[in-house]
Amino acid sequence: MQLITRLIALTRGVQLRRQFKEIEKVLEQLPANSRRQLAALSMREFSNATKCEYPHLYATPPEEKYSPWGSGTAIGYERMKSDSLQVRLRGLALWLTVTFHETKDSPYADQRELHRQVMRTLRTLKESVPANEMSQLLANHPQAA
In this structure, the dihedral spanned by the alpha carbons of residues 129, 130, 136 and 137, taken in order and rounded to 10 degrees, is 10
Q: How many domains does the chain have?
A: 1
Q: Which residues of the chain have pLDDT under 70?
A: 131, 133-145
Is-contact 33 133, C-beta < 8 A? no
Which residues are CB-neighbours of 122 under 8 A, at least 6 positions away? 42, 96, 100
pLDDT for res 28: 94
pLDDT for res 5: 84
Domain range for 80 is 2-144
Q: Would you give the distance in Å from CA 21 to the centre of its chain? A: 13
Distance between CA atoms of 80 and 66, rounded to whole angstroms? Answer: 25
Cα separation of the two ends of the chain: 39
pLDDT for res 62: 87
pLDDT for res 145: 43
Q: Return left, alpha or beta for 59; rule: phi > 0 is left, psi -120 to 50 is alpha, else beta.
A: left
